[in-house]
């Protein structure tokens, strides 16, 4: 529900109200053409929003808001290409002040003209996410993946990182399962919202937001506020979820102990496939807890309208001295007319006719192995600053279902800043000078005579010379460095493209493989921006159906830790080194020397401690 003042909430419930609508048409060149309530053809304007299907509650939905309006206007409809439209509702309060509620901003997709009327139709920014999704291999938190999607599709994210983390599974690291059906960024957002137990939409300010169904009541709609209404005699509630595991081809069923309600089918979510089985189970159980909070009575009604209401709001409905709670899943605002709100849901008693086996069958994969070309694409979601140590830039994991070959290709956009050094070099130049001419006896003429002579003089010239930046690439295949082929490139300052290629031959049947690219510098500076490292491994009979082997890949560097003036013994100072050691059996056969502790918390405390370890065999012999 859009936040409004208490005075607005009082006025909107009255039998009569004073209000009006306005709007702006924003052309491609940012020219703003305003229109008022008088310019709107009566009965023509509407805004429609939805967050669920027509028969059942859903999560993960990505429905676009729609508008339609007819205006008395002389605007040339051809000038409306790539234009936008925004609408506002204005309510007069008892204090005669006007409270304005934004009703959304939309892209105009259709413009038709008659002699006096301009008819416009369009959708909100959700359609901008219908953009090809080229990535098949990336990972990150939900906030990072949402931010990446918004950046690619030129839509602002209307949520902070903390707000995204507040959802269930909001702090989990999500990775894309390679055999996915994500075709557009809109599909990608659908799976992210489904993972978080929410639905996606575009706010009234034109920003992408995720919402979940409200648990608290936003407002009450009494009998006198309804023109017509239809309220179900059952209550929709959920006690189980069904999610298909793409690896095992099994539909997993999670339920409460008392499983007597509806089952929500989540299908196959490619963001919930990778990782250990315990992680998937944890995420599914968290979704079960969230979905089981959803309960309401389905309804359909036409009301006098409240433009502050949104989809997902919980409302109280007065019905025969009883208050019934319902969730808004569909709302249509009629400009200067009635509003229709709808809450859909299924009857849990009818669901008992279905067996649990029927529920498990829903969403199972029918995968057919084929010889088509498979491409595993990668794109970096964070920027890299290269250094003189090997920095992992690309890592792609893939499975080979048969003995086959594959090709690795990459295109990396680099920004190079070279080091410079001062060099001094000698420059010779000829200078013309006037020299006085002397007569034979060495005396000057009277008047003096002069002649021009050329002399050569040397100057020191200092210049800054760029030291070309040398970049060294290392390939790592199945955790083994490829030593026989190490590409090297030399660059001057500026933007450059590094193209990489490597053939992967004799891939074994039914094995999981990984291919990484490490880059280091010998001098200078280099940066790879976000999404500027694009790579792909392509070939036949490639997949990603093998189970995770339990290995964690970690790149970390340690510096020397210096401890000083931080313990009770103030003179303690030591260097600690981290190094790899081979485990040895725990056998002690040495006597540890004496330790003296003096001047601790008790000033006169002094004690000698002798610790002695004996060889285990010697101890057994004495025992």
pLDDT in tens, 234-245: 899 999 888 888
What pLDDT band is residue 160 in, cutting at 50, 70 and 90?
very high
- Indicate if the pLDDT at residue 359 is higher than 70: no
pLDDT attached to residue 598:
45
With bands split at pLDDT 50, 70 and 90, how would you rate the model's confidence at 62?
very high
Two structure tokens written together for 129 = 């996410």
Helix (H) or strand (E) run with residue 359 in it: helix 356-361
- pLDDT tier, 22 (very low <50, low <70, confident <90, very high otherwise): very high
Alpha carbons 335 and 47: distance in angstroms, whole number: 8
Residue 61 confidence (pLDDT) above 60? yes
pLDDT of residue 599: 42
Three-class secondary structure assignment of 133-198: CCCCCCEEEHHHHHHHHHHHHCCEECCCHHHHHCCCCCCCEEECCCCCCCCEHHHHHHHHHHHCCC
- Give the pLDDT of residue 35: 93
Model confidence band, residue 546 (pLDDT cutoffs 50, 70, 90): very low
Of the given ranges (84-98, 303-317, 431-445, 496-510), which has the lowest mean pLDDT? 431-445
Question: Quick count: other Cβ atoms within 10 Å of Cβ 591?
Answer: 11
Cβ–Cβ contacts within 10 Å for residue 455, how many?
10
The Cβ of residue 269 has, within 10 Å, a number of other Cβ atoms equal to 24
State how far the alpha carbon of 425 is from the alpha carbons of 136, 375, 422, 465, in Å. 55, 55, 10, 12
pLDDT tens-digit readout, 424-469? 777 777 777 777 777 777 677 777 777 777 777 777 777 778 889 9
Interval 362-393: pLDDT, tens:
433 333 344 567 777 888 877 888 888 888 88
Pick from 232, 233, 196, 191: nearest CA to 211: 196
More confident position, 544 or 393: 393
SS3 213: coil
Work out the number of other CB atoms within 10 angstroms of the CB of residue 616: 13
Is the backbone peptide bond immediately before 447 cis, with ω within 30 degrees of 0? Answer: yes
Lowest-confidence segment of 111-125, 151-165, 529-543 by average pLDDT: 529-543
- Pair 117, 72: CB distance under 8 Å: yes
Rounded CA gap, 498 and 599, in Å? 63
At residue 349 the predicted structure's pLDDT band, cuts being 50, 70 and 90, is confident
Span 580-596, pLDDT tens digits? 666 555 554 555 555 44
Residue range 180-185: mean pLDDT, rounded? 85
Tell me the per-residue pLDDT of 487-500, one tens digit each, with 9 for 90 and over. Answer: 999 999 999 999 99
In sequence order, the 6+-apart residues with CB closer than 8 A to the CB of 507 are 400, 403, 404, 405, 406, 513, 539
What is the average per-residue pLDDT within 336-351? 85
Tracing tokens 């979510």 back to the chain, one arrives at 269
CB 427 within 8 A of CB 458: yes
Residue range 215-231: average pLDDT? 88
What percent of the chain has a predicted confidence (pLDDT) above 90?
Answer: 36
Q: DSSP E strands: which ranges in 468-572?
A: 469-477, 480-481, 488-491, 494-507, 511-521, 525-528, 533-540, 542-543, 561-564
Cα dihedral: 220, 21, 120, 82 (round 10): -100
pLDDT tens digits, residue range 396-417?
Answer: 888 777 778 889 999 999 999 9
The pLDDT of residue 424: 76
SS3 string of 404-452? Answer: EEEEEEEEEEEEEECEEEEEEEEEEEEEEEEEEEECCCCCEEEEEEEEE
With bands split at pLDDT 50, 70 and 90, how would you rate the model's confidence at 194?
A: very high
Tell me phi and psi for residue 263, to 5 degrees: -115, 125
What local confidence, expressed as pLDDT, does residue 411 receive? 92
Which range among 83-87, 110-114, 350-354 shows the weakest confidence by mean pLDDT? 350-354
Our CA angle for 9, 14, 19, nearest 5°, is 75
pLDDT of amino acid 328: 93
Tokens 């309006």 -> residue: 69
Tell me: pLDDT of 16 over 60.
Answer: yes
Q: What is the mean pLDDT of the chain?
A: 81
For the entire predicted model, the pTM comes to 0.62
């Amino acid at each position: 529900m859009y936040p409004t003042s208490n005075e607005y909430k009082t006025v909107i419930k009255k039998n009569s109200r004073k209000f009006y609508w306005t709007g702006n048409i924003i052309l491609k060149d940012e020219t703003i053409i305003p229109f008022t309530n008088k310019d709107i053809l009566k009965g023509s304007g509407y805004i429609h929003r939805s967050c669920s299907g027509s028969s059942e509650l859903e999560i993960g939905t990505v429905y676009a808001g729609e508008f339609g309006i007819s205006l008395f206007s002389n605007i040339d409809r051809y000038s409306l290409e790539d234009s936008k439209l925004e609408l506002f509702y204005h309510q007069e309060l008892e204090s005669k002040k006007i409270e304005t509620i934004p009703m959304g901003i939309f892209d105009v997709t259709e413009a038709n003209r008659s002699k006096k009327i301009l008819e416009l139709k369009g959708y909100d920014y959700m359609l901008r996410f219908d953009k090809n999704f080229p990535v098949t291999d990336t990972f990150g938190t939900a906030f990072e993946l949402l931010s990446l999607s918004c950046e690619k599709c030129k839509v602002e994210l209307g949520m902070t990182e903390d707000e995204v983390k507040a959802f269930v599974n909001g702090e989990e690291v999500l990775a894309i399962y390679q055999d996915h059906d994500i075709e557009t960024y809109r599909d990608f957002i659908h799976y992210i919202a489904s993972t978080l137990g929410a639905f996606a939409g575009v706010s009234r300010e034109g920003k992408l937001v995720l919402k979940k169904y409200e648990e608290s009541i936003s407002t009450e709609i009494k009998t006198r506020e309804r023109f017509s209404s239809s309220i179900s005699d059952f209550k929709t509630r959920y006690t189980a979820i069904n999610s298909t595991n793409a690896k095992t081809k099994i539909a997993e069923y999670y339920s409460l102990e008392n499983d007597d309600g509806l089952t929500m089918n989540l299908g196959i979510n490619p963001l919930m496939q990778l990782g250990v089985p315990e992680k998937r189970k944890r995420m599914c159980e968290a979704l079960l807890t969230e979905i089981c909070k959803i309960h309401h009575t389905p309804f359909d009604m036409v009301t006098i309208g409240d433009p502050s209401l949104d989809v997902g709001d919980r409302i109280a409905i007065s019905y025969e001295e009883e208050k019934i709670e319902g969730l808004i899943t569909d709302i249509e605002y009629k400009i200067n007319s009635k509003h229709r709100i709808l809450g859909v849901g299924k009857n849990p008693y009818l669901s008992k006719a279905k067996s649990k086996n029927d529920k498990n069958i829903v969403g199972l994969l029918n995968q057919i192995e084929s010889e088509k070309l498979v491409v595993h694409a990668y794109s970096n979601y964070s920027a890299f600053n290269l250094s003189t140590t090997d920095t992992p830039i690309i890592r792609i994991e893939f499975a080979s279902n048969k003995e086959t070959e594959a090709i690795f290709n990459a295109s990396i956009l680099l920004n190079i800043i070279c080091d410079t050094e001062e060099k001094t070099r000698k420059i010779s130049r000829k200078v013309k000078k006037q020299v006085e001419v002397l007569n034979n006896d060495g005396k000057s003429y009277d008047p003096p005579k002069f002649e021009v002579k050329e002399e050569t003089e040397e100057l020191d010239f200092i210049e800054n010379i760029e030291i070309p930046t040398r970049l060294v690439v290392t390939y790592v295949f199945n955790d083994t460095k490829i030593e026989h082929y190490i590409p090297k490139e030399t660059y001057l300052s500026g933007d450059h493209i590094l193209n990489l290629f490597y053939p992967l031959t004799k891939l074994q049947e039914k094995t999981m493989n990984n291919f990484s690219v490490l880059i280091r510098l010998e001098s200078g500076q280099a940066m790879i921006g976000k999404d500027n490292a694009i790579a792909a491994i392509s070939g036949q009979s490639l997949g990603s159906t093998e189970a995770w082997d339990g290995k964690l890949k970690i790149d970390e560097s340690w510096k020397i830790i210096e401890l000083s003036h931080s313990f009770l013994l103030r003179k303690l100072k030591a260097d600690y080194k981290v190094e790899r050691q081979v485990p040895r059996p725990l056998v002690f056969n040495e006597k540890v020397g004496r330790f003296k502790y003096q001047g601790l918390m008790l000033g006169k405390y002094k004690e000698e401690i002798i610790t002695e370890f004996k060889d285990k065999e010697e101890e057994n012999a004495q025992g």
